Chains A and B, each alone.
Chain A
Amino acid sequence: MIAPHSIFSLAQAASTTGVQVDYIFYLLLAFSGTVVLVIMFLVLFFVAKYHRGTSANRKSEAPISSRLEVFIVTVFTVIGLTLFVLAAKVYADIARPPKDAMTIWVVGKQWMWKASYPDHREEINELHVPVGQPVKLVMTSMDVIHSFFIPDFRVKQDVLPSRYTTLWFTATKPGKYRLRCSQYCGNDHAGMVGWVTVLSQADYQQWLAAAPEGAAAIAGTPGTNGALMATKLRTTFNQLGCIACHTPTSSVRAPRLDGIFNQTVRLQNGQNTTADEEYLRESILFPNAKISAGYVQPSLMPAYKGQITDQQLHELVDFIKSIRDGWPADATQPTEPSGNQPLQSEPKR
């Protein structure tokens, strides 16, 4: 049996934004609490004083003017709107991840979570994050809508199929925190749970270096050696034919990719948009979605939707993010003689 005191000691939030959410929650609790107590007191007082048979003075001299009512209502509206503003400000923090956050890719699949780290190590239903550092989760689902919910960090974000949604937090206290799926997703929705382990900086470095014994070793993922990883990303970039157009020396005119990540891109219809993960993912799968300025519609680039796996998509996006500081020297020579081998076109349904 759990000790009773732990029932009512609501766990203190363990993330920076979580503390602000608690602050708003207690503010609302105070406001609502007073209103409820006032109403209950008035009701009980009136029942005690005016129930039939008491000799209270029931003559109503001047009827209470409606000005009192208008006053009470405006006070209620003003308090309500201030609470809205406070909550909206905190929400603006929660909704927009900081630029320098460490990105972890999360894939939700019917009834389990798979996290893959920057060094492309993967874990099932487990998340290891360093304390004090902002972590951004870029999440997608393989089937239905799930929802990534860490109660102690006060964060939650639905995970939608064929779309990236992001969630971020900065853990403040090392420890193991529960992770749950909060959007009903089928039979074992209740079983789609996991742990988020927050490690101090020292433990985190140690965990990084250690072989991924905790995480399930996904076949084909090379070790954590950075250089080995870089070549793997570039081979995917070459294999899928991106190299045929998207290099400085290519004969075909295509948008430059080096240093594009998080830059503002001018589109053909005059709007501007930032080239974040969602833009890169969408442009790879649906090239016609957003045409860069100066390029013709429909785009010459084939739609990769259904041609490549999620894993390959992660690698392409990571490669484009990794060539931030200029084009790496040896990438210009395609590793295979036929740079753009034909894409195997899956028979459409």
Chain B
Amino acid sequence: MQFDDAEQQHEAAALGMWAFLATEILFFGGVLTGFVIYRHRYLEAFAEGGKELWPWIGTANTAVLLLSSFAMAMAVHEAETQGRRKHIARYLLLTALLGATFICVKAVEYTIDWHEGLIPSLNWHPEHLSHPDQTQMFFFFYFFLTILHAIHMTAGIGVILIVAWQTRRPDFSSEKKTTVEMLGLYWHFVDVVWIFLFPLLYLTA
């Protein structure tokens, strides 16, 4: 092993994950820069786009994600303290379940949007909109950001299930605890991204 001791390995893993989260911040940041600029330029069209969405679905979804974030924090706490494998697995499965509900609610939202003809360039019928082109841009940003976020969540759920399955094995050494902690960092980051996406997309006045 290239590490001298567990402490060095934990420090390396934490630095590596945080640096990776910095790249994710800039990855989402590129689209958000474009969104902020166009929202300032076409405020009215973007507000009109926001009205097409259902804020209460968004609020419920955010609550679900906050709960899953809490569940993950409990899993990490469990891994760090008693380390009871059953409890860690249970919290991880709860996190994955809540994440899955979030994805399902998003899928429901997308199907409603499809029927309403709000999908840019694929199924776009803007009869009732005053600025069809700019509102189409709003919906492009809406779908691009939420799908990008959903992909990150699905990846996260996949890894959570793998790690939850691994905790069942007896040789769940301290190295695995670091994996749970890093997974927690990633999941909380995906939650923070949604914390910013929710007001920007749904709560436009």
In the complex they form, whether A and B have CB atoms below 8 Å apart is answered with: yes
A200 contacts the other chain (Cβ, under 8 Å)?
no
Nearest-Cβ distance from residue B134 to partner chain A, whole angstroms: 10
A298 contacts the other chain (Cβ, under 8 Å)?
yes
Using Cβ atoms and an 8 Å threshold, which residues of chain B touch A288? 44, 131
B130 contacts the other chain (Cβ, under 8 Å)?
yes
Nearest-Cβ distance from residue B97 to partner chain A, whole angstroms: 43
* Contact present for B132 and A298 (CB under 8 Å): no
A residues 297-349 near B (Cβ < 8 Å) are 297-298, 348
Contacts between the two chains (Cβ within 8 Å), count: 7
Using Cβ atoms and an 8 Å threshold, which residues of chain A touch B44? 288, 297-298
* Contact present for B130 and A348 (CB under 8 Å): no
Number of interface residues of A (CB under 8 A): 4
**Distance A297 CA – B131 CA, assembled complex (angstroms):** 14
**Distance A348 CA – B126 CA, assembled complex (angstroms):** 10
Using Cβ atoms and an 8 Å threshold, which residues of chain A touch B131? 288
B residues 79-132 near A (Cβ < 8 Å) are 126, 130-132
**Distance A137 CA – B98 CA, assembled complex (angstroms):** 61
**Distance A298 CA – B129 CA, assembled complex (angstroms):** 13
Nearest-Cβ distance from residue B117 to partner chain A, whole angstroms: 13
**Distance A348 CA – B124 CA, assembled complex (angstroms):** 11
Using Cβ atoms and an 8 Å threshold, which residues of chain B touch A348? 126, 132
| Binary CB contact string for chain A from 208 to 232 against chain B (1 if under 8 A, 0 otherwise) | 0000000000000000000000000
| Binary CB contact string for chain A from 270 to 296 against chain B (1 if under 8 A, 0 otherwise) | 000000000000000000100000000
Residue of B nearest to A303 (CB): B131
Residue of A nearest to B121 (CB): A349
A residues 145-186 near B (Cβ < 8 Å) are none
Nearest-Cβ distance from residue B40 to partner chain A, whole angstroms: 12
**Distance A348 CA – B44 CA, assembled complex (angstroms):** 20
Nearest-Cβ distance from residue B131 to partner chain A, whole angstroms: 8
Nearest-Cβ distance from residue B50 to partner chain A, whole angstroms: 17
**Distance A298 CA – B131 CA, assembled complex (angstroms):** 11
| Binary CB contact string for chain B from 13 to 24 against chain A (1 if under 8 A, 0 otherwise) | 000000000000
**Distance A288 CA – B132 CA, assembled complex (angstroms):** 14
Nearest-Cβ distance from residue B118 to partner chain A, whole angstroms: 15
**Distance A19 CA – B130 CA, assembled complex (angstroms):** 51
Using Cβ atoms and an 8 Å threshold, which residues of chain B touch A298? 44, 130
**Distance A298 CA – B132 CA, assembled complex (angstroms):** 15
**Distance A98 CA – B106 CA, assembled complex (angstroms):** 56
Residue of A nearest to B126 (CB): A348
**Distance A298 CA – B45 CA, assembled complex (angstroms):** 11
**Distance A288 CA – B42 CA, assembled complex (angstroms):** 10
Nearest-Cβ distance from residue A237 to partner chain B, whole angstroms: 26
B residues 131-154 near A (Cβ < 8 Å) are 131-132
**Distance A297 CA – B45 CA, assembled complex (angstroms):** 13
B residues 20-52 near A (Cβ < 8 Å) are 44
Nearest-Cβ distance from residue B129 to partner chain A, whole angstroms: 10
**Distance A298 CA – B47 CA, assembled complex (angstroms):** 13
Nearest-Cβ distance from residue B139 to partner chain A, whole angstroms: 15
**Distance A348 CA – B131 CA, assembled complex (angstroms):** 12
Using Cβ atoms and an 8 Å threshold, which residues of chain A touch B132? 348
**Distance A288 CA – B43 CA, assembled complex (angstroms):** 11
**Distance A288 CA – B130 CA, assembled complex (angstroms):** 11
**Distance A298 CA – B43 CA, assembled complex (angstroms):** 12
**Distance A288 CA – B131 CA, assembled complex (angstroms):** 10
- In the A-B complex, the 3 residue pairs with the smallest Cβ-Cβ separation, listed nearest first, are A348-B132, A288-B44, A298-B130
Q: Pull 7 A–B residue pairs with CB atoms less than 8 Å apart, ordered by A.
A: A288-B44, A288-B131, A297-B44, A298-B44, A298-B130, A348-B126, A348-B132
